Amino acid sequence: MADLRVKLTFPEELVRRPVLADLVRQFAVIPNIRRAAVEEHSGWLICELSGTTENLDEAQAWLIAQGIHVDPLGDVLES
């Protein structure tokens, strides 16, 4: 198992979509939400994603393809 710490920024059209639920089902990745802010027109969350390296790579590529901005955080969890 590997961990990937990221900040995900959602555009308005994706705020109401169950992106994390889709991510879990499609890529067998486990999210641990550390901090989040969701508003009507935008949203972001800081989370750790756990899974195999291959699944994390595929999940990250999928998030980007969906229009979600993915910022890797390294060891920083709360910023």
Q: What is the pLDDT of residues 18-64, one digit of tens each?
A: 999 999 999 999 999 999 999 989 999 999 999 999 999 999 999 99
For CA atoms 34, 79, 38, 66, the dihedral sign is: negative
Average pLDDT over residues 9-18: 92
Secondary structure of residue 72 in the 3-state scheme: strand
Please name the residues in contact with 63: beta carbons below 8 A apart, sequence gap of 6 or more: 8, 19, 23, 70
The structure's pTM equals: 0.87
According to CATH, the superfamily of the domain at 2-72 is ACT domain (3.30.70.260)
* pLDDT tier, 75 (very low <50, low <70, confident <90, very high otherwise): low
